[in-house]
Chain A
Amino acid sequence: MLTLTMAACGQQGTSTATTAPSAAPAASAAPTAAPVTRGQGGDLKILYWQPPTILNQHQATGTKDADAARLVLEPLASWNPEGKPVANGLASEIPTVANGGVSADFTTVTWKLRTGVKWSDGTAFSADDVVFTYQYMKDPKSAVTTSDYVDGIKSVVAKDANTVVVTYDKPNPFFYQFGVSGSGAILQKAQFGAFVGEKAKDAPGNLRPIGTGPYVVKDFKPGDTVLYEINPNYRDANKPFFKTVTFKGGGDAATAARAVFQTGDVDYAWNLQVEANILSPMSKASTVGELFTVYGASIERLLFNFANPDPALGDKRAEPDTKHPFLTDLAVRRALAMATDRGTMAKELYGDGLSGKSTCNLITAPPDLVSKNTDSLDVCKYDIAAANAELDKAGWVKGADGIRAKGGVKLHVLYRTTVNALRQKEQDIVKAGWKQIGVDVELASVPAGTFFTNTSPDGANHFFADVEMYTNSGDPDPTALLASGWGTENIAQKSNTWQKGNYARYSNADFDKIIADLKKETDTAKRAALVIAANDHLVKNVVIVNLINRTFATSGRAKTLKGVNPTPWDSEMWNIADWSK
């Protein structure tokens, strides 16, 4: 599944996917407290320090856009915090195998839509709009960032005005792929009909969408502020509670934190990526605001290069047929893993759970896919002595300069990541540990805009370094993540202009077999076992060193704000109609 990630800060975007297909959908949205009256509240002030620039989830460049659009454009259904679909959108119920909405072979899904729903311009919503949205997303010229969600779909057909049938090419265990969460936001055919394909970018609706959600856009200054007012045609006569919403963008995370905790200027502040020892006292001392965190599957980790990045190789540099001089030695990788102090990192930089916690696993959610085998592994424990012993045993000997070498090869590591205050501190911690085992570390950092591209030799894809570090966001179903990240067929290299996802140039038949099985398997329990096996393979063989499970959301809200119920699989704004004071 596609996940949008904000490159500039390495923080995660909304992600979606399904948990086990047999899981029963939750009965309703988060319980609301007292009954509320529409428009009873005043202005709801939301602060996103990254400002929204476009209000269409399909053209979004990041969470901020998708979240700001979510107040207006609704999907068929949303994901709740437990990873279950909730019918708080345009669908009247969640289709399951049990209620006949999903075919037994997982190829067709029949969505029943709500009746009598109107767009904010007063016209009627119908199944045609859903079909149109599918066609809009499917057209490659529309260049939507959500196109992954229509991959593998054979057709989306309106059976009648209130029924839509989604048919997949082949049995699809993730049958909620289309239509659930922000990626399934439904566009109005009347507004976007003339803007499919190349013209999609020019649609005026990108800035002022007509939606079915609780709010309509009153004024939008891209890169600054969105002002919303209640959608007079919203289907629930009692909602939303707030009369207007000011969705302010800009500034930085620290300013946002002060605004919600110290001055109380805003009711909701998104993604407070502030160092824990600032954030924690600030939120604890606050009388007006409180902090909340949600864990998903975002992992900050170290990637080892299995190919040789030596510039002397010229065109062959870091090509998969070259061999890294020392990182292909398991003993070296094990020693580096054991000398990596993720505990200190979590404690000092992530506030021990405030914005992240240490992990040795790549897959950390949902619970049934999490490996319990890794905690006891030696490579998951910080132990300098053991790391030194490992290298001694493997014949890497310390020279006069304190750096280990073997057969003329010195343990000199070029360790690259993005320019980011937090990452530079992480680098310092890793370097300090590695230094103690006789590894010379050269730190490098490049701007995120350069790092996350396939066009720059300093980029993650080229991997002209020995070690690199960034965050990977996960999904409840990690098949795509595992296959793309470490499968032999996905090795990034010159011939594919470094566009594939296996930057580490890792190639292993056992691992490829696990992935191949995972792609075929439809049984929930067996799938979980395969995911755990893949995770364990990568951890045991130290193909990666996972460091921190970062929170999906570390946001702040006013203490008086009720109904906020964040989920790691959907927009934080997914249930804004239920918010009140």
Chain B
Amino acid sequence: MGRYILRRLLVAIPTLIVISFIIYAVLALSPIDPLSAFGADPRVPPEVRENIRRSLGLDQPWPIRYVKWFTALIQGDLGYSFMSHSPVIGLIVQRLPNTLAVVGVAYVIGVLIALPVGMISAVKRYSLVDQVATTFAFIGFSTPTFFTGLLLIIIFSVNLHWLPFIYNSNLKIEDLGSFLQQVKQSIMPITVLGLFDAAVLTRYVRSEMLEHLPLDYVRTARSKGLRERAVILSHVLRNSLIPVVTLIALGVPAVFAGAIVTEQIFRVPGIGEMLVRAIFDGDIPVVAAVVFLFSVLVVSFNLVADVLYAVLDPRIKYT
């Protein structure tokens, strides 16, 4: 087992190196100019621009910049933002709580809805519950989150004035009042994203369960005279949970991708919002760091999923 993980880790390294190169090359070769933030104004003197360019190290050819960036990266240094001249890692740490508070919670809620609904749906196939769940799932993953988000804002913020549409990242949860405030400001994004996640996951769970329902061991269990309930819980559930757990692990990085749009709609100052702004500002160190960290996340969760698979399924042996 340990050797398997080690081997997988070793394979991941060249992959991450290639990824880091691709990300950096795309950014470096693009026509974006970090200096554009300094002006539409032709009177910003060229010398000043050149000075700034030099001070940001942009006068060097990009392969050299890449090597420097990568060398710093493997020492754990993500570099400095062009815009705020502060360490990128600090910016990410500042924003992570906002992303987790909204997008993370939404994913957890999505999983909590999807697991029971997906299972019931599969077991009681073509029942009313299944029909309703399937309908909602299809509607759920066919609706763009930015559309639902806008509708919620129109209804609850603009017309009813019930919920705020400015996310206050400085809110500290100390008592019931501030907790309620946090609930009020995050309920819309959590709903939108949570329902979307739930819709997708419900389908996964349902189809995984279905895969296992007609299998031989289920028949055996049934023929042993076990009650349907016991069959489902101890046999089907246990076996189909393995791929479901894997799916949930694999879905974690996608959660952050979903954050981009949701954070944009609800103005949550999280990592997705920072990434979009950094792209527009040409803040290369921030963009490169965020995208690279996401890739690391994907690679590690792939690994986690495989390891979980191995742990949960005794039939699989890794060496």
* Chains A and B directly touch (beta carbon < 8 Å): yes
Known: A143-B51, A250-B267. A225 touches B169 (CB 8 A): yes
Query: With A198-B55, A453-B33 given, is the CB distance from A224 to B41 under 8 Å?
Result: no
Q: Which residues on the B side are within 8 Å of A480 (C-beta)? A: 43
The docked-state distance in angstroms from the alpha carbon of A500 to that of B49 is 12
| Residues of A436-464 whose CB lies within 8 A of B | 447-456, 458, 460
Q: Tell me the complex Cα distance, A152–B85, Å.
A: 29
Is A402 an interface residue when CB atoms closer than 8 A count as contact? Answer: no
B165 within 8 A of partner (CB): yes
Check A3 against B43 for contact (C-beta < 8 Å): yes
Chain A residues lying within 8 Å of B314, measured Cβ to Cβ, are: none
Of the A-B pairs whose beta carbons lie under 8 Å apart in the complex, a sample of 27, sorted by A's number, is A1-B43, A2-B41, A3-B39, A3-B44, A4-B38, A5-B39, A5-B40, A5-B44, A6-B37, A6-B40, A54-B83, A141-B51, A143-B51, A145-B48, A206-B85, A207-B85, A221-B269, A224-B269, A225-B170, A225-B269, A246-B170, A251-B166, A252-B267, A263-B161, A448-B40, A449-B33, A484-B43
Closest to B277 in A: A223
Q: Are A258 and B52 in contact (CB under 8 A)?
A: no
**6 additional contacts (CB under 8 A) given A221-B269, A263-B164:** A4-B44, A53-B83, A250-B267, A251-B166, A265-B164, A452-B39
Inter-subunit contact A223/B43 (CB<8 Å): no
Tell me the residues in window 241-268 of chain A with beta carbons closer than 8 Å to chain B beta carbons.
246, 248, 250-252, 255, 258-259, 262-263, 265-266
Residue B282 CB within 8 A of the other chain: yes
Interface pair B42/A472, CB less than 8 Å apart: yes
The 3 residue pairs across chains A and B that have the minimum distance between CB atoms: A501-B42, A222-B84, A143-B55
Residues of A within 8 A of B95 (CB): 221, 224
Among A262, A453, A470, contact of B31 (Cβ-Cβ < 8 Å): A453
User: Judging by beta carbons under 8 Å apart, are A501 and B267 in contact?
Assistant: no
Contact A250 B85 (CB under 8 A): no
Does A397 sit within 8 A of B, measured CB to CB?
Answer: no
Are A61 and B43 interface neighbours, CB within 8 A? no
Contact indicator B166/A4 (Cβ below 8 Å): no
Residues of chain B within 8 A (CB-CB) of A262 are: 158
Whole-angstrom distance between the alpha carbons of A223 and B81 in the complex?
11
Nearest CB of B to A433, in Å = 25
Chain A nearest CB, measured from B58 CB (Å): 10
Check if B2 is an interface residue, CB within 8 A of chain A.
no
Asked if residues A54 and B33 are in contact (CB atoms below 8 Å), the reply is no
B46 at the interface (CB under 8 A from A): yes
Nearest B residue to A148 via CB reads B45
**Most chain A Cβ neighbours within 10 Å, of B32, B43, B95, B274:** B43
Find chain A residues with CB under 8 A from B43 CB. Answer: 1-3, 148, 480-481, 484, 501
Say whether, besides A2-B45, A141-B51, A453 and B36 are in contact (CB < 8 Å).
Answer: yes
Residue A227 interfacial (CB < 8 Å): yes
Q: Decide if B70 is an interface residue (CB 8 Å cutoff).
A: no
The answer to whether A452 touches B36 (Cβ under 8 A) is yes
Q: Smallest CB–CB gap between B168 and chain A, Å?
A: 8
Instruction: Please provide the chain B residues from 16 to 48 with a CB less than 8 Å away from any CB of chain A in the complex.
Output: 31-33, 35-48
Give the complex CA separation of A381 and B23 in angstroms.
52
Chain A residues with CB under 8 Å of B158's CB are 258, 262
Q: CB of B219 within 8 A of chain A?
A: no
Cα-based distance from A472 to B42 in the complex (angstroms): 8
B91 interfacial contact with A, CB 8 Å: yes
A7 contacts which of B36, B54, B83, B170 (Cβ < 8 Å)? B36
Given contacts A147-B51, A201-B85, contact A7 B269 (CB under 8 A): no
The answer for the CA separation of A500 and B50 in the assembled complex, in Å, is 12
Number of interface residues of B (CB under 8 A): 50
Please state if B40 and A7 are interface contacts (CB–CB under 8 Å). yes
Whether B41 and A5, one on each chain, are in contact in the complex, defined by CB atoms closer than 8 angstroms, is yes
Query: What 0/1 pattern do residues 260 to 300 of B give for CB contact below 8 A with A?
Result: 00000001010001100100111000000000000000000
**Nearest CB in chain B: distance from A298 CB, A:** 10
A143 touches B54 (CB 8 A): yes
Which A residues lie within 8 Å of B48 (CB)? 2, 143-145, 147-148
**B84 — which chain A residues lie within 8 A by C-beta?**
53-54, 206-207, 222-223
Give chain B interface residues in 147-198, CB to chain A under 8 Å. Answer: 157-158, 161, 164-166, 168-170
Chain B residues with CB under 8 Å of A147's CB are: 45, 47-48, 51
With A201-B85, A223-B269 known as contacts, the answer to whether A145 contacts B31 (CB < 8 A) is no
The reply on A399 being an interface residue by CB < 8 A is no
A200 touches B42 (CB 8 A): no
Closest to B83 in A: A53
Q: A208: shortest Cβ distance to chain B, in Å?
A: 10
Q: How far is the CA of A454 from the CA of B47 in the complex (A)?
A: 13
Contact with B along A492-528 (1 / 0, CB 8 A): 0000100111010000000000000000000000000
User: B83 contacts A61, CB within 8 Å?
Assistant: yes
How far does the Cβ of B36 sit from chain A's closest Cβ, in whole Å?
4
**A8 adjacent to chain B (CB < 8 Å):** yes
B86 interfacial contact with A, CB 8 Å: yes
Say whether A219 contacts B170, CB under 8 Å. Answer: yes
Contact of A473 among B41, B46, B94 (CB under 8 A): B41
Question: Does any Cβ of B come within 8 Å of A47's Cβ?
Answer: yes
Cβ < 8 Å to A, chain B residues 70-120: 80-81, 83-86, 91, 94-95
Q: Contact: A499 with B31, CB < 8 Å?
A: no
Question: CA–CA, A332 to B32, complex, Å?
Answer: 35
Which of B42, B85, B169 has a CB less than 8 Å from the CB of A484?
B42
The smallest beta-carbon distance between A336 and chain B, in angstroms, is: 22
For the complex, is A59 an interface residue (Cβ under 8 Å from B)? yes
Asked whether B170 lies within 8 Å of A250 as measured between CB atoms, the reply is no
Q: Is A10 interfacial (CB-CB < 8 Å)?
A: yes
Residue of B nearest to A8 (CB): B280
Rounded to whole Å, the gap between the CB of B68 and the closest CB of chain A is: 15
Which of A2, A206, A221, A255 sits near B267, CB closer than 8 Å?
A: A255
Query: Residue of A at shortest CB range from B33?
Result: A453
Given A221-B269, A484-B43 in contact, is the A8-B83 Cβ separation under 8 Å? no
Task: Point out the residue from B37, B46, B166 that lies within 8 Å of A62, measured CB to CB.
Answer: B37
Q: Is A476 part of the contact surface with B, judged by Cβ < 8 Å?
A: no
Q: Nearest residue in A to B283 (C-beta to C-beta)?
A: A53
